[in-house]
Amino acid sequence: MTHTGESAVSQSRKPASIIAVDLMIGLVAAEALYYAFGMNTDAVLQWAVGILLAGLIAVYGWRKLQPIQLSAGRKGQAKITKLVLLDEDSESIKEWFIQGEVSLLIGKTTGRSEVDIDLADTEYASLISTQHAVLNYTSGRWYIEDLDSRNGIGIRKSNRSSAVKLESDAPSLIETGDMIYIANTRMLVK
């Protein structure tokens, strides 16, 4: 069973300020071209302006196509690299490295189905559904979704003192420092 989660997360639109700057850059470039080739007859100036504008357009286009890098120093926006299964004393029992993945199924591996994050050998495995939840990476962020499990999923945000139970089939953003509760099993997002 594969879940992409892309339909649940809308694509972000450019802010109006970015669009305004893009339009202003285009307008200045058009005016420079008009001056160099429409009003001016100096061939050297025309070549210089042409080469300069071609270079600027190439650099500008290349920069616009580069993905936006989030600052790792800002809270909650550091790259998530792994999930850490914790015991009752908050000691690490097991880790799953998730960086580079797109979708991960959480639950219990059985003879009929296999999951990416297997909680079958945890203390509370009897409370975990075979296909309990899915983690999806889209638009540079991780989301978790309850797959209509028997005992649900809770999320405690890193800046909160209590967990919130997720609704089934409703993706929820997770960030570094958040705690995921699957039944009575705890996983720290790092």
Q: Is 3 within a domain?
A: no
Verify that 28 and 110 share a domain, yes or no.
Answer: no
Instruction: Show the beta-strand stretches assigned E in 101-170.
Output: 103-107, 117-118, 131-138, 141-146, 153-156, 164-165
Verify that 110 and 178 share a domain, yes or no.
Answer: yes
Q: Rounded to an integer, what distance in angstroms lies between the CA atom of residue 88 and that of residue 96?
A: 19
**Dihedral of the CA atoms 62, 68, 71, 76 (nearest 10)?**
-170
Strands 131-138 and 92-97: unpaired
Verify that 131 and 45 share a domain, yes or no.
Answer: no
Verify that 38 and 118 share a domain, yes or no.
Answer: no
Nearest to 173 by CA among 150, 151, 155: 155
Residues 6+ apart with CB under 8 A from 40: 46
- pLDDT at 77 (0 to 100): 53
Q: Is 8 within a domain?
A: no
- pLDDT at 57 (0 to 100): 80
- pLDDT at 67 (0 to 100): 56
- The residue assigned the tokens 């594969």 is 2
Q: Is 172 within a domain?
A: yes
Verify that 61 and 86 share a domain, yes or no.
Answer: no
Verify that 44 and 100 share a domain, yes or no.
Answer: no
Q: Which range of residues forms the domain containing residue 43?
A: 16-65
Q: Is 74 within a domain?
A: no
Per the structure, the count of domains in the chain is 2
Q: Which residues on adjacent β-strands are paired with residue 84?
A: 95, 188
Verify that 111 and 165 share a domain, yes or no.
Answer: yes
CATH code, 142: 2.60.200.20
Verify that 175 and 94 share a domain, yes or no.
Answer: yes
Q: Is 44 within a domain?
A: yes
Buried-state track 61-85, b at ≥16 Cβ within 10 A, e below 16? eeeeeeeeeeeeeeebeeebeebbb
- pLDDT at 174 (0 to 100): 96
Verify that 91 and 177 share a domain, yes or no.
Answer: yes
Q: Report the chain (190 residues): mean pLDDT per 10 consecutive residues.
A: 38 64 83 82 85 84 63 56 94 94 95 94 94 93 93 93 88 95 94
Residue 137 structure tokens = 């990476």
Q: Is 77 within a domain?
A: no
